[in-house]
Structure 1
Amino acid sequence: MILSSQSDTPAATGDAAGHRGTIRGWGSFVLILISLIVEGFDLQAANFAAPSIVEDFGIDRAEIGPLLSASLIGVLIGALTIGPLGDRFGRRTILIACCVAYGTLSLIAALAVNLPQLIVLRFLIGIGLGAVLPNALALAGELAPRRLLATATGLVGIGITFGGVVAGAVAAHYLPTHGWPALFVAGGVLPIAIALLLWLALPESPAFRPGAAPKAATAGVRAVLAPEFRGRTLAIWLIFALVLMVIYLLSGWIPLLIRDQGYSLAQASWIATGVHAGGVAGGVCASLLLARAQWKIVAIFAALAALSLLLLAVHNWGMGMLIALLLLVGFFSTGTQNGLNGSASATYPAAFRASGLGWALGLGRVGSILGPLAGSLAILLGLTAARHFFLIALLPLAIAALLALWLARRQRLAPPMDEGQ
C-alpha cells in the first residue's frame, strides 16, 4: 500500500473506514501524479513546438534559444520563491493556484504574435511550474504512511518524465495540422482541468489540518540552513545540481551519439524512446527501494549510472549493445533523480519540507542549465567523438554517490521528526 493515512494500520473505527481511507489515499496519489504529468507536458511543450514556431514567425533557429531557456529560468525562480510558500499556506493551496496560473498563461501564449511575447510568457509559466513540483512531492509524501514517505515522493515524481512522453505524442499528432498553438492550448486546458479536480477531491496535508501541531516559527531558507540541517542541505543542493546537469547533458547528447553511429532518424527515435522507457522503469524501481533505504539507494543508482556511461564511452558498440547500454543509462540516471526526490523529502520535517524541496529543485536547475554546455567543454578538451562526451558525466555522478553515502550516515544519526503527522 502506498497511500492510506499517516499511520500504517487502519483506524480503530473499523475495517470499512480503513478501506475507504485507502481508496481516498490512492485517489489522492493519482491526482498528484496526473498534476505532475501535466507539468511534464508543459515543461516540454516549447521544445516540441520550436520547429513550428521558427517556421511560423520566420526566424532563424539560433533565435529560438532564449525561448527554450525562459521556462527553465522561471522554474528556478518559482521553486525558490513561490514553492516555499507551501509551508505557510498549505501544499494544496499553492498546488491548485499555480496550476490555474500557468494554465491561464499557456492559453495566452497560444495567442502570441511574436517571439518576445512567447519568451516572456514562457518565463512566467516556468515560475508556476517551479512552484508546483516541490509542493506536489511534499504532499504526496505526507499523505503516505510515514515509512513510505520517500517511496511515495519518488513514485509521484515519475509523472514529470511521463509528461514529456505525452507531450511528444501530442506534438506528433497535432503539430502537422494545427501548428504550435495547439500545444499551448493543450498545456493550458489540462492544468486548469486538473486544478478543478484537485480542488474537489484532493485533501490537504495532515500537517495543515485542524489540530495539527503549530507550524515552525522559522521556515524558508533560514530553516533548511539552520545548524542541525546546514550540512545536509548543502550536500543535497550539490547533488541535485550534479544529477540534473548529467540528465540534461544526456538528453542533449544521446541523439547526437545515435546519429554519430550511423543510424537513421527513425532508428534514432526508437532508441531515444527506449531511453525514456528505461528511465520510467528506473524511477519506479528506485522509488520502491526507498522503503528499505534512502540515500544508499541514491548512491547505488548514481554509481551504476556512472558505470553504464563509462561502458558507453569506451567502445564503439554495435546496435544491440548500444541500445542495452542506453537503456541502462536511462534506468539508472532517472532512478537516481527519483530516489533523490524521495530521499530529500524524507530528510526535512513537514514544517519546512516544501522549502527544502523548493530550494533543492531550484538550485538544481543551475545544473540543468549548465548540462548542455558540458558538450562544449568536451569539445574544448578534445573529446571529438560523441560517445566520449559522456566521460564528462562520470565525475559529477561519482561526487553525487559519495555525498549520498555521507547523507545516509547523517540520516541514520539524525532522522527527521515530523510533528503533527
Structure 2
Amino acid sequence: MAAPALDIQTSSPIDLSHRPMSAFQWLMVAICFILNFNDGIDVLIVSFSSTAIIAEWGLSKVEMGYVFSAGLAGMTLGCFLIAPLADRRGRRAIFLVSVGVIALGMLGVGLCHNYGLLLALRFLTGLGIGGILPTMAATAAEFSNQKYRDINVGLVQAGWPIGAILTGLFCANYIPVYGWHSAFLVAGGLAVVMWLLVLFFMTDSLDFMLNQRTASGQSARTLTAVNRLLARMNADPIAALPTVQRDAPQPGLPALLGTTYKRNTLTVWVGAFFGFMTLYTLMSWVPTIAKDAGLPFALATGVGIMLNVGAALGSASIGAFGSRFGLRQSVLTFMLVAFAVMQVYAFTPLTPTLIFGLVLLIGFFVQGGFNGIWPTLSRLYPAGIRATGVGYTVGIGRLGAILGPLLFGYLSDGGVSIQTLFVLFSLPLLVMGCCIWSLRSGQL
C-alpha cells in the first residue's frame, strides 16, 4: 500500500524509502511520539482536574465547558496560523516555539487563581499544541521509510493517549493530596524537558530541506546540510543537489484548494470536524460522567484512564491495519464498530466492570479509527504542503472539538439523559468514516 519514492506521498528526489531505518530516524520518530504526550496531557489534565476545579471555584458545567473549549480554540488558531509555517520555516523551529508556549501556559495555570486568567492561559497552551500537532505527523512521515511510514505515523498518535494515561494516574493519586494546581506545574516542567529534547536532538527532514531550496545561493549550504543528514541516516553523500521539481505545489491554502487536491481536502475537513467533535467530547467528559454515575473519584478517574488505554492500543494498531487492508477500509470499519459499541453503552444496564470494558472498546475504536486520518493525510499531500494540509485539517477539526464539549455541557445541564447524549455523539463517527471512505487516491 505504500507509495514509490517520487510520487505524491514521498516527494524527496533522493530515494531512501526502501532503505532500512537508521537509529537516527527512529530517534526522530520517538521525539515526535514524546511530543505528542503534550496533546494527551493538555486535554486530559483539564478533564481529570475538572471535578476539583468545579468544587474549588464553584463553576457550573457550562463554565467548565468554556475551560475545555478555550484550550481547543487556541489549538484551532495554532493549527491555522502556526503549523503551516513549518512548511516555510522548518519543523524544528515550529517545535521550539510551540513547546515553549506550552510550557509557559501550563506553568501559568499551575499558579493561577482567577477564572478569566485560567481561560486565557488555556488558550495560550492550546495555541502551542496546535502548532506541534500537524508538524509531528509530517515529521514522522518524512523520517520513515516505506515499510514503516503508516505504522510510525499511527504510533506517534499513540503518544496522545499515553500522555493522557500518565496524566490520569498522576491526577488520581496526587490531586486529592496536593490539589489540581500541582498537576499543571508538573506538566509544565515536562514541557520544558521536551523543549530541551527538541533543541539538542531534533533536525529538519530531508524532504523539507530539498523542498525549501529556492535560490542558487543556498545550494552549497543546503548540500552540506543534506549530506550531514544523510550521514546520520547511514546513507551515502551526494555530489550535487537533485533538480528542483518546478511543478511542485507552493505552501499555502491555495495549493490545498487547487484542482488537484480540492475534493479530497474538503472531504477530509468534513470528516475531521465530526471526528474531533465526538473524540474530544468523550475525552473531556468521561471522568465527570463516571463520577456523576456514582463512582468515587479514583474509580471515575480510572474510567478515563481505561478510555485512553484503549485509545493507545487503537492508535498503535490503525497504521498496521491500514498497511494490511487499506486506510479507507480500516477507518470505516473502526468507526462502524465504535458506533455499535456506543449504542451498547447507551442501552445496556451498566455495572462498574461493564463500564470499564465498554470504555476500553470505545477508546480503541474511536481514537484508533480517528487516528487513521494522520497516515491518510501523509499520503494525500506531498512534503511541500504536508504540514499545511495537516494543519488546516486539524484546525477545521478543532472547530468540532470546541463545539462538542460545549454542546455536551449545555445539553447535560438542560437535563438530556446520558443515553441520549451517547446516541447523539455517536452519529458523527459514521460521518467521518464515510468521508474517509469516499476519498479518491490510489495511495489509500
Aligned to 2:103: 103
TM-score, structure 1 normalization: 0.84
Aligned-pair distance for 1:33? 0.8
How has the CA–CA distance of structure 1 residues 178 and 78 changed in structure 2, closer, same or farther, with 3 Å as cutoff?
same
* One-letter identity of the residue aligned with 2:334: F
Residue 114 of structure 1, CA deviation = 2.4
* 1:341 paired to 2:374: yes
Of the three residues 228, 251, 276, the one matched with 2:308 is: 276
Stretch moving more, 355-364 or 365-374: 365-374
Aligned to 1:291: 323
- Hey, what does 2:259 align to over in structure 1? 227
2:144 alignment counterpart: 144
1:360 to partner: Cα distance? 0.8
Asked if the contact 1:77/1:127 (under 8 Å) is kept, the reply is: yes
Higher deviation after alignment, 352-361 or 246-255 = 246-255
1:44-79 deviations in whole A, cap 9, x for unaligned? 3344444555566x5544654433321111001001
Q: How does 1:52-131 map to 2 (within 5 A)?
A: 52-53=52-53, 58-61=57-60, 63-131=63-131
1:100 alignment partner AA: G
Tell whether 2:356 aligns with 1:326.
Answer: no
2:44–2:167 CA contact under 8 A, matched in 1: yes
Q: CA deviation at 1:397?
A: 2.1
Gapped regions of structure 2 (runs ≥ 5): 1-13, 210-221, 223-240
Q: What displacement does 1:274 show? A: 2.4
1:303 aligns with 2:333: no
In structure 2, how many angstroms separate the alpha carbons of the residues matched to 1:365 and 1:373? 12
**1:392-407 equivalence runs, <5 A:** 392-407=424-439
Tell me: CA distance 1:162–1:9, structure 2 relative to 1, closer, same or farther (3 Å). Answer: same
Over the aligned positions, Cα root-mean-square deviation in angstroms equals 3.1
Consecutive unaligned residues of structure 1, counting only runs of 5 or more, are: 11-17, 417-421
Q: Deviations over 1:326-365 (max 9, x none)?
A: 3222211011111112212221111111111111111111
Give yes or no for contact 1:150–1:294 (8 Å, CA) kept in 2: no
CA distance 1:48–1:195, change in 2 (3 Å): same
The whole-number CA distance in structure 2 between the counterparts of 1:161 and 1:281 is 9
Pairwise CA distance, 1:384: 5.1
Contact 1:6 1:144 in 2 (8 A): no
Q: Distance in 2 between matches of 1:48 and 1:95?
A: 26
Q: Which has the higher contact order (CA 8 A, sep 6+)?
A: 2
Match of 2:16 among 7, 11, 17: 7
Question: After superposition, what is the alpha-carbon deviation per residue over 1:156-214, rounded to whole angstroms, capped at 9, x for unaligned?
Answer: 01111211222222233443444343333222222222122122222311112334746
Which of 326-335 and 127-136 deviates more?
326-335
Map of 2:44 onto structure 1: 44
1:43: how far off? Answer: 3.4
Q: Secondary structure at the match of 1:228?
A: coil
Asked whether the 8 Å contact 1:92–1:139 carries over to 2, the reply is no
User: How far off is 1:377 after superposition?
Assistant: 8.3
In 1, distance between residues paired with 2:98 and 2:363? 30
Q: Is the 8 A contact 2:287 2:304 kept in 1?
A: yes
Letter in 1 for 2:82: I
Kindly tell me: are residues 124 and 321 of structure 1, through their superposed partners in 2, closer, same or farther at Cα, counting changes over 3 Å?
A: closer
CA-CA distance at 1:248 after TM superposition: 2.7
Instruction: Decide whether the 8 Å contact of 1:260 with 1:386 is kept in 2.
Output: no
Q: 1:237 aligns with which of 261, 269, 272?
A: 269
Q: For residue 252 of structure 1, report the CA deviation from its aligned partner.
A: 5.3
- 1:411 aligns to what? 441
Measured after TM superposition, the shift of residue 254 of structure 1 is: 4.4
Counterparts of 2:102 and 2:320 in 1: how far apart (Å)?
31
For residues 64 and 395 of structure 1, the distance between their equivalents in structure 2, rounded to whole angstroms, comes to: 24
Matched positions, count? 398
